[in-house]
Amino acid sequence: MPDQHRTWWKEAVIYQIYPMSFMDSNNDGIGDLPGLMSKLDYLQYLGIDALWITPVYDSPNDDNGYDVRDYLSIAPQFGTMKDMETLIEELHSRGIRLIMDWVLNHSSDEHEWFEKACLSKDNPYHDYYIFQRHENGPPCNWRSMFGGSVWQYVEKLQEYYLHLYSRKMPDLNWENPEMRQAVYDMMLWWINKGVDGYRLDSLATLAKDTSFPNVPSSKEDGLGWGGRYFLNRSPVHEYLKEMNERVFSSRDVMTVGETGFISPEDALKYAGYERKELDTVFQFEIFDRILGTGDITEPASIPPAVLKQVFTLWQEKLQDKAWNTLFLENHDLPRSVSLMGDDGLYRELSAKALATLLLTLQGTPYIFQGQEIGMTNVNYSRIDSYRDIRTFSIYDQLKKRKNLSEEEIMKVIHQRSRDNARSPMQWNDSVYAGFSKQKPWISLNANYSSINVENEMGNPNSILHYYRDLIRLRKNYPDLVYGSFVPSVSSNEDVFTYCRHGKEYDFFIALNLGKKEQDLENHEQGKNYKPLIGNYSDFIGKDNSEKIRPYEARVFIKKR
């Protein structure tokens, strides 16, 4: 990797915070900015370099802040603009950068633009959104992500507006250059306040096919999308080039686009080094393959073979052309230890094996709050304990099927709900897990008395300590960041082995991502490599074993 490509955001380990569930300072049961600030010592202790916080803008909270009412103010539940300014200052004084979440595809229906848009067809804001006149029902059969049609009728205008998400989240019209400039101006406003980067929400859906063709196989009762008519369509690249030129190009601001259902070829279009669009994208291939296709009632777990195949593919395809992002969790996904590890007997070992994977590949790693202590899926027994709009639409959709019992439906929810990641952060074993002194807005995971930060800090062999150690290794060895990725073939489906070749050092990583002991047919470890870190305490001494134990992770190093 040539040196001119070195940048802070490639070397950074980024921590994602879902502020509603991180820390509550005023005991109203909802996490907030002062609460977040009270945990900066912890974040520093963990060793992360930047935070990505999900939206904290003023919002009626139809989708927990992804429905923005005012991009230039802070929702009262989170605090004030002053709190935000203090947060930026505090973070910067600790050398931590801040990445804001920017919602581009839609606003809230309570945003003043939309309110004006609905006043009349000649109002200039009318063209900020996507309205269609249609005589016999909705203009096409696309289904919204949150269930039902993507079209909502406005009596006064006798027109429908488009919403890919909820009815309260009307899509913005990216074909309108004035709307685009208004968005850029607001992004610049925040950059002037000191934000260091943007995570761009639902980026792949900005450019719609405005002939609005019907999707041939749309299911009336289904969730989801007429995807090909608005995912990754070429005008999105024109918008991004323009945004890059006007907002990012002359500033040290990093960007990561949320792009579902993309191939490595698509990613190169968004984030290729020469493209002048984005720095990086989140790709969801491991999730798309398991959670994004097929019947929703099918068991959702990601097998080792998929992890191995997909990570290898992306490492190889992007190498020297674009920079990968690495993540196993976010606020929309089940907990990784439940989805791709083992949240029972092997919770600790599998969480550490997954941590090893996350932090030894090429790319920028993201850790989602609680991942570093091995938090698990929530499994609330009743639907009314859930809070997420998408979870309710899955529930309603399954209820319509008639052949499923309540228990079977809840099983699907347990595996797939976005609330799995949204239960409050588990700080200690006191009431409400030290998150709040009041009943939180969403129930705690019942296991908080054993799985919590305080316990993890006190135990030198904990998942948390292992994360810290791995983060420190990335700091100490830039070759672990920049070194090239070379897979080392293992015919065993559960065993993932690869090398990283740097300027000064080479690394060899061997992971058993399954529950059974396996043969390690690969002998790289014998070739002058020394053990660097592993998740079994007797690793040193057993580092030449040709057996690799359940969820064992071994990292070796040698000087070149």
Residues with catalytic function: 201, 258
The residue type of 172 is L
Which of Ca ion, ligand NOJ, none does residue 332 bind to, with CB < 5 to 8 Å depending on kind?
ligand NOJ
* Binding at 24: pick from ligand NOJ, Ca ion, none (beta carbon under 5-8 Å per type): Ca ion
* Order of all β-strands in the sheet with 97-103: 280-282, 254-258, 197-201, 97-103, 50-53, 14-17, 364-368, 325-326
**Would you say 378 and 419 are in contact if contact means Cβ atoms under 8 Å apart?**
yes
Minimum separation from the CB atom of position 524 to Ca ion (A): 51
As a whole number of Å, the CA-based R_g of the chain is 23
Residue of minimal Cβ distance to Ca ion: 32
Q: Which of 32, 49, 62, 63 binds ligand NOJ (CB under 6 A)?
A: 63
Report what 543 binds from Ca ion, ligand NOJ, none; CB cut-off 5-8 Å by kind: none
- C-alpha 523/C-alpha 123 separation (Å) is 70
With beta carbons less than 8 A apart as the criterion, state whether 352 and 369 touch.
Answer: no
Tell me: does residue 419 bind ligand NOJ (CB under 6 A).
Answer: no
We find the least distance from the C-beta atom of residue 21 to ligand NOJ, in angstroms, to be 13
Q: Is 202 in the site for ligand NOJ (CB under 6 A)?
A: yes
**What is the torsional sign of CA 534, 496, 345, 382?**
positive
The footprint of ligand NOJ on this chain (CB under 6 A) covers a number of residues equal to 9
Binding to ligand NOJ (CB under 6 A) within 152-171 occurs at 165
| CA distances from residue 551 to 20, 373, 516, 542 in whole angstroms, order as listed | 33, 17, 8, 15
CB of 18 to ligand NOJ, least distance (A): 9
Q: Report the residue number, 437 or 472, with the smaller CB distance to Ca ion.
A: 437
Question: Beta strand 159-162 with 70-74: parallel, antiparallel or unpaired?
Answer: unpaired
**What's the burial of 149, exposed, middle or buried (CB within 10 Å: 0-12/13-18/19+)?**
buried
| DSSP code string of 427-449 | --SSGGGGT-SS--SSPPPGGGG
Q: Which residue has the tokens 């070149």?
A: 560
- CA pair distance 166, 169, nearest whole angstrom: 5
- Judge contact between 23 and 77, C-beta under 8 A: no
Among 36, 48, 84, 103, binds ligand NOJ (CB under 6 A): 103
Beta bridge partners, 154, equal: 159
**From the CB of 371, what's the least distance to ligand NOJ, in Å?**
16
Query: Does the protein bind Ca ion through residue 279 (CB under 5 A)?
Result: no
- Footprint (CB under 5 A) of Ca ion, residues 24-43: 24, 26, 28, 30, 32
Which of 248, 269, 272 has the alpha carbon at shortest distance from 198? 248
Residue 202 interface partner, choices Ca ion, ligand NOJ, none, CB cut-off 5-8 Å depending on type? ligand NOJ
Among 24, 58, 171, 201, binds ligand NOJ (CB under 6 A): 201
322 binds, among ligand NOJ, Ca ion, none (CB under 5 to 8 A by kind): none
State yes or no: residue 379 binds ligand NOJ (CB under 6 A).
Answer: no
d(CA 495, CA 482): 24
CA geometry: angle 62, 63, 68, nearest 5 deg: 80
Q: Measured from the CB of residue 82, what is the shortest distance to Ca ion in angstroms?
A: 16
Query: 470: part of which helix (H) or strand (E)?
Result: helix 463-476
Q: Which residue's CB is nearer to ligand NOJ, number 331 or number 416?
A: 331
- Indicate whether 506 belongs to the interface with Ca ion (CB under 5 A): no
The answer to whether residue 230 forms part of the interface with ligand NOJ (CB under 6 A) is no
> Quick one: what does residue 32 bind among ligand NOJ, Ca ion, none, with the CB cut-off 5 to 8 Å set by partner type?
Ca ion
The smaller minimum CB distance to ligand NOJ, of residues 63 and 543, is found at 63
Q: How far is the CB of 556 from Ca ion (least distance, A)?
A: 46
Residue 231 binding ligand NOJ, by CB under 6 A? no
For residue 35, give every residue at least 6 positions away whose Cβ sits within 8 Å of its Cβ, in sequence order, or none.
19, 22, 23, 24, 25
- Binding positions for ligand NOJ, 248-267, rule CB under 6 A: 258
Nearer to Ca ion, 77 or 376 (CB): 77
Single out the residue of 9, 18, 57, 66 in contact with ligand NOJ (rule: CB under 6 A).
66
Interacting positions 306-365 with ligand NOJ (CB under 6 A): 331-332
**Phi and psi, residue 50, nearest 5°:** -150, 155
- Under the rule (CB under 5 A), what is the footprint of Ca ion? 24, 26, 28, 30, 32
What is the contact surface with ligand NOJ in residues (CB under 6 A)?
63, 66, 103, 165, 201-202, 258, 331-332
